[in-house]
């Protein structure tokens, strides 16, 4: 990036930019409808941003905004002092309540800003049990989100612990300011007209999605250093990207930012080996240089330079945890990739790179999938699991071919960039 170029963000105060991001979150992310309730989850350190979001939500006609704040110090106390059975416990009552709110029409907003290495030094077994209990209890609420029954979105907030990880050599206040700047840029909040910028961006993602849907490839073939992977796509798979329509008919952007087009792989048709191109920050553990081998859709070998024990536990969550639930294409020239930053947060890092996800598939990425039974979805190749974990496999050294239904290879990406415009 050229430091000499003045961007609109230089002329705007932090408060103005925060306000714009809050507006983008409510209008573009949630597409909030007049009279809707909003359920927000957020870290304590994001309170100033959450207040801005709350203001914009009420201005947009929200009937009630309810925020559940989380405290990382309290999370650590559980690991320090909690009894063993604590790690198999989750607040099912809370998640059932959230599911009830969604069924009653509430929108869902998650503000993310966790310390990426909060649980790095904790017992992987306890971390895995706690995550498993949580995932299980969260399922009734998560399925309403994953199936886009309601409008929902994720947005980032620069917290001190997260900022220290991204900018370890800066004093905390400088690191937080730098991280906010990166979030504003990635979320297009620093453009002259953020809402118009998002409309243009959504149109570009929709064009890419439509091209891939017209092609209806059988397989994507990734090649690069340490990677030769064939990802078969689900029968009747459908590509998604940019804004989409929830079952409550509201147009929303599930992630702020987003740069990906993505679809459902076939759970039994993934073969070859693949190497991660960025570290994966998973619930407080950094898993780096993942290398896995697939046979018939299933991971049969897995190693990692760091976090291998946690990765192993993740893969053992259930049968579907060893299979893919998503494949996504992101050009290397995406604004987040160009920032050159490693965010240690999947919301941002997955949008810097093509990626795959272990675990649960999105039913909306199968044609007619929203109305299918679990058996029907499985028969098309859609995977099922308690987890959905994205990890990055794209770089400027990775090529992607689309393999047509009659077996011809067509170049899709070269050196990390789209071949077709
Ligand atoms: Zn993705
Ligand atoms: Zn994903």
121-128 mean pLDDT: 90
Record the tokens describing residue 167, joined without a space: 């900018």
| Sequence-separated (6 or more) residues with CB below 8 Å from residue 371 | none
| 62 vs 147, more confident | 62
pLDDT at residue 2 in the model: 44
Mind listing the pLDDT tens digit for each residue in 81-119? 999 999 999 999 999 999 999 999 999 999 999 998 898
Q: Are residues 304 and 351 in the same domain?
A: yes
Distance CA 21, CA 38 (A): 17
Kindly give the distance from the C-alpha atom of residue 106 to the centroid of ligand 2, in angstroms, as a whole number: 23
Which among 169, 186, 203 is the end of a domain?
186
Angle of the 194-215 helix axis to the 14-24 helix axis, nearest 10: 40
Distance CA 201, CA 29 (A): 13
Kindly give the distance from the C-alpha atom of residue 85 to the centroid of ligand 1, in angstroms, as a whole number: 34
Secondary structure of residue 332 in the 3-state scheme: coil
Q: Are residues 157 and 231 in the same domain?
A: no
Domain contains 410? yes
pLDDT at residue 230 in the model: 98
Kindly give the distance from the C-alpha atom of residue 224 to the centroid of ligand 1, in angstroms, as a whole number: 20
Within 10 angstroms of residue 306's Cβ, the number of other Cβ atoms is: 15
Beta-ladder partners of 251: 245
Kindly give the distance from the C-alpha atom of residue 315 to the centroid of ligand 2, in angstroms, as a whole number: 16
CA of 257, nearest ligand number? 1
pLDDT at residue 151 in the model: 97
Q: Are residues 178 and 281 in the same domain?
A: no
Q: Are residues 225 and 178 in the same domain?
A: no
pLDDT at residue 87 in the model: 97
Q: Are residues 225 and 273 in the same domain?
A: yes
| 350 vs 410, more confident | 410
Listed range (11-15, 47-51, 97-101) with the worst mean pLDDT: 11-15
Listed range (2-16, 35-49, 119-133) with the worst mean pLDDT: 2-16
Which band of pLDDT confidence, cut at 50, 70 and 90, is reported for residue 9? low
Beta-ladder partners of 41: 68, 110
Cα torsion angle, 160, 166, 167, 169, sign: positive
Which band of pLDDT confidence, cut at 50, 70 and 90, is reported for residue 18? very high
Cα end-to-end span (Å), the chain:
23
Beta-ladder partners of 39: 66, 108
Q: Are residues 306 and 158 in the same domain?
A: no
Q: Are residues 182 and 223 in the same domain?
A: no
Query: Is residue 282 over pLDDT 90?
Result: no
Kindly give the distance from the C-alpha atom of residue 262 to the centroid of ligand 1, in angstroms, as a whole number: 6
The percent helix, strand, coil of the chain (3-state, each to 5) is 40, 25, 35
Q: Are residues 290 and 394 in the same domain?
A: yes
CA of 389, nearest ligand number? 2
pLDDT at residue 120 in the model: 84
pLDDT at residue 80 in the model: 95
| Sequence-separated (6 or more) residues with CB below 8 Å from residue 78 | 86, 87, 130
Domain contains 341? yes
Query: Is residue 421 over pLDDT 70?
Result: no
Domain contains 250? no
Q: Are residues 156 and 17 in the same domain?
A: yes
Kindly give the distance from the C-alpha atom of residue 388 to the centroid of ligand 2, in angstroms, as a whole number: 6
Record the tokens describing residue 305, joined without a space: 């330079």
Which band of pLDDT confidence, cut at 50, 70 and 90, is reported for residue 283? confident
Q: Which CATH number do you get for residue 172?
A: 3.40.1830.10
What is the residue-wise DSSP string for 102-155? Answer: HHTT-EEEEEE---TTTTTTS-HHHHHHHHHHHHHHHHHHHHHHHTTSS-EEEE
Kindly give the distance from the C-alpha atom of residue 16 to the centroid of ligand 2, in angstroms, as a whole number: 31
Domain contains 96? yes
Distance CA 264, CA 402 (A): 14
Kindly give the distance from the C-alpha atom of residue 231 to the centroid of ligand 1, in angstroms, as a whole number: 15
Taking alpha carbons only, the member of 347, 343, 379 closest to residue 363 is: 379
Strand 298-303, strand 324-329: pairing: unpaired
Which residues make up the environment of ion ligand 1, defined by Cβ < 5 Å?
Answer: 260, 262, 328, 390
CA of 146, nearest ligand number? 2
pLDDT at residue 3 in the model: 43
Provide the 8-state DSSP code for 415: T
Kindly give the distance from the C-alpha atom of residue 10 to the centroid of ligand 2, in angstroms, as a whole number: 33
Kindly give the distance from the C-alpha atom of residue 356 to the centroid of ligand 2, in angstroms, as a whole number: 7
| 363 vs 287, more confident | 287
Domain contains 196? no
Query: Is residue 405 over pLDDT 50?
Result: yes
CA angle (338, 288, 139) in 5-degree steps: 95
Computed over every residue of the chain, the mean pLDDT equals: 94
Domain contains 344? yes
Domain count, the chain: 2
Which band of pLDDT confidence, cut at 50, 70 and 90, is reported for residue 335? confident
CA angle (327, 185, 10) in 5-degree steps: 170
Kindly give the distance from the C-alpha atom of residue 269 to the centroid of ligand 1, in angstroms, as a whole number: 19
124-150 mean pLDDT: 91
| 278 vs 32, more confident | 32
Q: Are residues 366 and 321 in the same domain?
A: yes
Domain interval for residue 137: 3-186
Kindly give the distance from the C-alpha atom of residue 81 to the centroid of ligand 2, in angstroms, as a whole number: 33
| Element (DSSP H or E) covering residue 209 | helix 194-215
Max Cα distance, the chain (Å): 59
Q: Are residues 112 and 175 in the same domain?
A: yes
φ, ψ for residue 303 (rounded to 5)? -140, 165
| 286 vs 10, more confident | 286
Domain contains 373? yes
Distance CA 119, CA 134 (A): 15
Record the tokens describing residue 82, joined without a space: 């909690």
Kindly give the distance from the C-alpha atom of residue 78 to the centroid of ligand 1, in angstroms, as a whole number: 31
- Percent of the chain predicted with pLDDT > 70: 97
Domain contains 201? no
pLDDT at residue 1 in the model: 44
pLDDT at residue 8 in the model: 56
Q: Are residues 226 and 164 in the same domain?
A: no
């Amino acid at each position: 990036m050229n430091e000499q170029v003045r961007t609109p963000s230089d002329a705007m105060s932090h408060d103005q930019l925060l306000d714009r991001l809050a507006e983008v979150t409510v209008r573009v992310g949630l597409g909030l409808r007049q009279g809707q309730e909003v359920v927000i989850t957020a870290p304590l350190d994001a309170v100033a941003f959450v207040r801005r979001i709350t203001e914009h939500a009420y201005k947009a006609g929200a009937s009630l905004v309810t925020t559940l704040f989380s405290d990382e110090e309290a999370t650590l106390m559980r690991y320090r002092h909690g009894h063993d059975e604590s790690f198999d416990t989750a607040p099912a009552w809370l998640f059932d309540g959230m599911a009830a709110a969604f069924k009653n029409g509430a929108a869902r907003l998650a503000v993310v800003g966790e310390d990426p290495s909060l649980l790095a030094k904790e017992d992987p077994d306890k971390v895995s049990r706690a995550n498993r209990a949580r995932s299980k209890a969260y399922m009734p609420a998560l399925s309403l989100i994953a199936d886009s029954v309601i409008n929902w979105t994720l947005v980032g907030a620069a917290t001190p612990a997260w900022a220290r990880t991204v900018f370890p050599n800066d004093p905390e206040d400088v690191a937080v300011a730098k991280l906010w700047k990166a979030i504003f840029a990635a979320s297009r909040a620093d453009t002259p007209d953020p809402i118009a910028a998002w409309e243009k961006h959504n149109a570009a993602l929709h064009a890419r999605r439509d091209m891939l849907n017209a092609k209806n490839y059988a397989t994507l073939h990734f090649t690069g250093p340490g990677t030769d992977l064939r990802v078969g796509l689900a029968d009747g798979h459908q590509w998604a990207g940019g804004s989409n329509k929830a079952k409550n008919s509201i147009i929303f952007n599930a992630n702020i930012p987003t740069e990906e087009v993505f679809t459902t792989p076939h759970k039994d048709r993934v073969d070859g080996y693949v190497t991660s191109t960025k570290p994966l920050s998973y619930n407080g553990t950094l898993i780096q240089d993942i290398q896995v081998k697939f046979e018939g859709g299933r991971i049969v070998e897995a190693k990692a330079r760091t976090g291998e024990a946690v990765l192993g536990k993740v893969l053992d969550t259930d049968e579907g945890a060893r299979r893919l639930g998503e494949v996504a294409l992101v050009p290397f020239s995406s604004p987040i990739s160009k920032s050159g930053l490693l965010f240690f947060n999947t919301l941002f890092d997955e949008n810097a790179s093509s990626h795959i996800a272990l675990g649960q598939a999105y039913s909306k990425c199968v044609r007619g999938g929203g109305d299918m039974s679990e058996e029907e979805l499985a028969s098309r190749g859609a995977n099922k699991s308690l987890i959905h974990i994205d990890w990055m496999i794209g770089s400027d050294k990775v090529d992607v071919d689309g393999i047509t239904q009659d077996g011809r290879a067509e170049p899709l990406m070269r050196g990390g960039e789209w071949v077709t415009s």
